[in-house]
A and B are shown apart, each in its own frame.
Chain A
Amino acid sequence: MRLTALIVAATLWLAPALAFAEGQAAQIIAENRDQIEKPSRQTIGPVITALAASGDPMADDILSAWADKRLVIRKADNALLLATPDGDGLSLSALDGTPAGTATKADLTELKPNAGVRGLIAAALVQFTLTDPDPARRAAALTSIARDPTAETLEPLRAAIETETDPALKAQKQRLERFLTLRFDPDPEARVAAIESLGSDTALDVRAALNPLVATTRIAGAGAPQGQNVARSLTIGRDLNDSEAYALLVAANLAPARLTLQEQRDALLANVVNGTIGGIPVAELNTQAARDRAYTALEAAGTVAAAATDDEAKAALAAHRFFDVYVEPDPTVTDAARAALTRIDRKVSVMQAADLGLDALSLAAIFFLAAIGLAITFGVMGVINMAHGEFITMGAYTGFVVQLFVPDYTLSILIALPLAFVVTFGAGVAMERLVIRHLYKRPLETLLATFGISIALQQILKNVFGTQARPLTAPGWLDGSLTFNDVVSISYIRIAIFVLALVFLMFFLYLMKRTRLGLEVRAVTQNPAMAASMGINPDRINMLTFGLGSGIAGIAGVAIGLYAKVTSEMGADYIVQSFMTVVVGGVGNVWGTLAGATMIGSLQKLIEFLNPSNTLAAQTYMILFIILFIQFRPRGIIALRGRAAGD
């Protein structure tokens, strides 16, 4: 009700104003017909401004038609009309919007304003789109201005702030106005004020707006440049090398271009006389020194152009100075911009450290998830299970198969998690009963036998599911990321994996410390014979423990599959890393695994941060570090002491 009333009131209030302006546009165009038919960028400005300022509702349409080459002259009566494509032909309307029949292209002459004029028209159109009644169009106009800021848009933007009713759009307009002010306002003080009003905002658009102000170009000159805003003076050897400096001199026409080796070669080849060049036989020109001598001889004979020698080049470099100068001529503005950027950089680096910390935590959570199953089988039972990676893969493929049958992603993941546990628990129990049980006394052979199983399982998975990566899609509510600002953000999947890792840690601690099974597992680990004499069945406990470790690997597989591609080799990528996690952390202790995962995760992220182009190198250095680390703490970060340490 109230909304309707408001619209009615607005219409009533606007109507007289519109009526007053109607026809103005047509009148302006009629007065400036010559200019409009043959516009030039230099003189058409006032006409466009007048059109835009006329307040005529048709001005918008006329200007956009003009820019789109839809403003036409009917050859029959020389009338200026607006054309709209309509089927094969064009439907026409007069400048006040009344329909004026149809025509074909042949009947009309299009007005074709050049690019400069179109730019002016577009700038004029900005004020219409910025005050358009449709908020979506206003937002689109703001986006397009932000993408390509020009000085012409500043005034219309300022004018459009007052009348903006949407608070979000108004804030956006004000922000954009500041960005435009700091670049295009004629008054330096206004620009500095705009820069300072930004404070230490770390948003990307702020940095994008400030960076052009401190852009520099490199110049060479005999003395300090006059009337230019010098950023710094450059020293050859520290800031730029000889050839770069000489290239600057050449570019500024302060020195002749040096002879490239290729040019020298061409010049020599062009002057072969009787098998010699400059008196030197061609066969002897197989060193650079000989070629230089031949060229000097040719220079002396005047057959080739003189080229700068090394000495001349050195002298030229010594005689000139080199500077970085700001493109922006006003030093107060560049100083303010640089100060603002320094403030922002300082804050950004703090943010980056926080972001790196989050990344490291989430990587640590992934390593922990991949390794915790291994921490049980290897750490508690002392059994090396090289097929652990394939259990992770099996878990991920279980998720994939579930998603084939259950299209709802949330439900399918909820089904997949326990199902993956069941599948890999079964596989683990089968493996323990059939293979590992017979090899408890021979750890090296357990390693080999499980390798055999790993090779076979991996190939079976490849045969069944193919070599291409299979998708395991996360539910929609895990899409996107938790964004704190432009620097610090973390995807929801990684948060979920982190939570899952925490849940497993709790579960594991509870199981080992608070349940009967955990008690029996610890007893069998410490002394199987004594445990057996107390009525515990060690075979059963070993089987269950192994199944548990394998089952957790399966769940980890589902979690890892959510953010990595599911292939038959995905588990193999984690196996060495997982063993490293367990060994570095300390065998037989879940806190050790946690510490190991945290250390490996954060170190890997740190190395990646220091050498960002190269994750492979990060992994290499990581492994080297671990090999060295084991030198100093052979039993890992958290080493068991006393009898529990065993061998």
Chain B
Amino acid sequence: MTSPSSVRKYPTGGAGGVKPPAFTDSPSLFARNPSVLIFIACLAAFTLAVTLMSEAFGAGVISTSFVKTLGKTLCLCLVALAMDLIWGYAGILSLGHMAFFALGGYMIGMWLMYARTEEIVVTALSQGGLPATPEEISQGIATQIFGVVGSSDLPLIWSLAHSLPLQLSLALAVPGTLALVFGWLAFRSRVTGVYLSILTQAMTLALALYLFQNDSGLRGNNGLSGLQNLPGLDGTSQDIVSIWFFWASALALGLGYLTLSWVVSGKFGSVIRAIRDDEARVRFLGYPVEVYKLFLFTLTALIAAIAGVLYYPQAGIINPAELAPIASIYLAVWVAIGGRGRLYGAVIGAAFVSLLSSLFTSGRLPDIAFGPVALSWVNWWLVILGLAFVAVTLFAPKGIGGLFDRFQNLRTPDRKGAPLGPDDGSLQEQEAQQ
């Protein structure tokens, strides 16, 4: 270990000098983490810029569909933050967090679809001469929603779908409970490392397979659709709705970043980083490791669910393919490319890779001709992404975040040959030396 005199809080924000790490009377969160203020400022500036260039409130340079893409990207950044917390900080490579994301989306999608269908059904029935009875309305809604899977009964899980507050609480309760139960089962039997990764992957696969059934009560592989139409807002154009959601996503990302910075900067953050680096030692020191992990797993699942709640109304459709294991793997890819163990890394990685993905798979880029063979970006983007990911893992485990370390002149700590812990891609910020 380095001597206390050389320990410096990363970066010290002007105070300078020798200062032992203290958690009780430490300066404010922002003083300790200037990156938080920088991030919030960047996000605010970005939000303002997009608003001023949007079709609804500004110059109209940015199309509504691109505003939606940007809003969705912000949601993906939020779920990447959650992934970074669980993987980069706590060392638990969960390959199932997109399941919580999609579950949040399903829950809000149920309300959106129900309320919207209710409007349509009530309007249609009022043409008939008699005012509709509640039975007729619920029958009509059920037929409208479930006709496509050959059913006309509203399943039990839809019984709260009429109410936005109840369904919103479900959007947190369902993924939260799933994470709590699954995490409790997994952590108490000491499933760690790659086993846990595979188990989480199996969880999301099981959920996806279940939802693919027509009698799952969520319309099988049709999924929920028409989610971009907000009930009661027929007069409001999508231009404005998209900006609303963009703002909401930006707000959620800002708040999420703030919360997680606070979570990881204190004593709690030190404990979870210690769990990542040497779980057994933390346990021997008397910390209830399983409780920490379970709390973190559930917290990140909730953040993922909130991101999903904001994402799917902008996407307009959700189906079980969103829960496929590959989605969660992409999430890990974003965080790894951005740089794990640092919150801004996750945001940068998610924004960079997902925007690049939508650019390359949009089919708008011209094909590259190699003599007689034309290579289309749509076909080769995944190959590039896969190989780039391998290259990042092999040669730049710190990802894009490594560039920031260069700017700040942060170096990997020297432990005189001793290993840095199992995850040397994560930022060992307490030890990074200037």
Residues on A close to B: CB < 8 A?
Answer: 261, 265, 268-269, 272, 282-283, 285-288, 291, 384, 435, 438-439, 441-445, 447-449, 451-460, 462-463, 572, 576, 579-580, 583, 614, 616-617, 619-620, 623-624, 626-628, 630-631, 634
Contact = CB atoms under 8 A, between A and B. Distances in A.
B422 interface: yes
Contacts of B215: 614
B85 interface: no
A290 to B, nearest CB: 8
A272 B198 CA distance: 66
A460 B383 contact: yes
Nearest to B419: A441
Given A580-B202, A623-B206, A456 B383 contact: yes
Given A269-B130, A286-B133, A452-B393, A459 B205 contact: no
B129 A445 contact: no
Given A449-B389, A452-B333, A453-B386, A616 B212 contact: yes
Interface stretch (B10-18, B186-194, B231-239, B296-304): B186-194
A447 B390 CA distance: 10
Interface string B221-256: 000000000000000000000000000000000000
Chain B: number of interface residues, binned into ranges:
35 or more
Contacts, number: 161
Interface in B172-229: 182, 185-186, 188-191, 193-195, 197-199, 201-203, 205-207, 209-210, 212-213, 215
Contact of B198 (A286, A572, A579): A579
B294 to A, nearest CB: 15
B408 interface: no
A630 B131 contact: no
B132 A286 contact: yes
Contacts of B27: none
Given A285-B133, A444-B423, 17 more contacts: A265-B130, A286-B130, A287-B134, A288-B135, A384-B194, A435-B390, A438-B394, A449-B390, A451-B333, A452-B386, A452-B388, A453-B386, A453-B387, A576-B198, A580-B202, A623-B203, A627-B202
Nearest to A460: B383
A27 to B, nearest CB: 64
Contacts of B325: 576
Given A445-B393, A448-B332, A619-B209, A454 B386 contact: yes
Given A268-B130, A288-B135, A627-B202, A616 B210 contact: yes
Given A443-B193, A444-B422, A628-B185, A617 B135 contact: no
8 contacts: A265-B128, A282-B129, A286-B134, A435-B390, A444-B91, A459-B383, A579-B202, A620-B207
B385 interface: yes
A442 B422 contact: yes
A462 B378 CA distance: 12
A453 B42 CA distance: 35
Main secondary structure of the interface of A (DSSP, over half): helix
Nearest to B192: A647
A634 B191 contact: yes
Contacts of B201: 576
Given A442-B422, A447-B197, A455-B389, A272 B129 contact: yes
B206 A624 contact: yes
Contacts of B199: 627, 630
Contacts of A272: 129
B133 A291 contact: yes
Q: 8 closest A-B pairs (Cβ-Cβ)? A: A456-B386, A452-B389, A455-B386, A623-B206, A459-B382, A286-B131, A452-B390, A449-B393
B213 A616 contact: yes
Contacts of B198: 384, 576, 579-580, 583
Contacts of A457: 386
B329 interface: yes
A287 B198 CA distance: 53
B414 interface: no
B287 interface: no
B405 to A, nearest CB: 18
Contact of A285 (B130, B185, B383): B130
Nearest to A625: B206
Interface string B317-346: 000000001100100110010000000000
Contacts of B329: 451, 455
B386 A634 contact: no
B383 A620 contact: no
Contact of B210 (A576, A617, A630): A617
B402 interface: no
Interface in B18-60: none
Contacts of A583: 195, 198
Contact of A445 (B133, B210, B425): B425
A457 B389 CA distance: 13
B210 to A, nearest CB: 4
B424 interface: yes
B336 A448 contact: yes
A287 B209 contact: no
A445 B206 contact: no
A265 B91 CA distance: 64
B93 interface: yes
Contacts of A445: 393, 397, 423, 425
A93 to B, nearest CB: 59
A248 to B, nearest CB: 24
A262 to B, nearest CB: 10
Contacts of B332: 448, 451
B6 interface: no
A572 B326 CA distance: 10
A620 B186 CA distance: 18
A451 B129 contact: no
A249 B333 CA distance: 67
A616 B220 CA distance: 11
B380 interface: yes
A614 B213 contact: yes
A643 B195 CA distance: 20
Contacts of A444: 91, 93, 193-194, 197, 422-423
Given A282-B129, A445-B393, A448-B393, A576 B205 contact: yes
A291 B136 CA distance: 12
Contacts of A630: 189, 191, 195, 199
B332 to A, nearest CB: 6
Contact of A459 (B189, B197, B380): B380
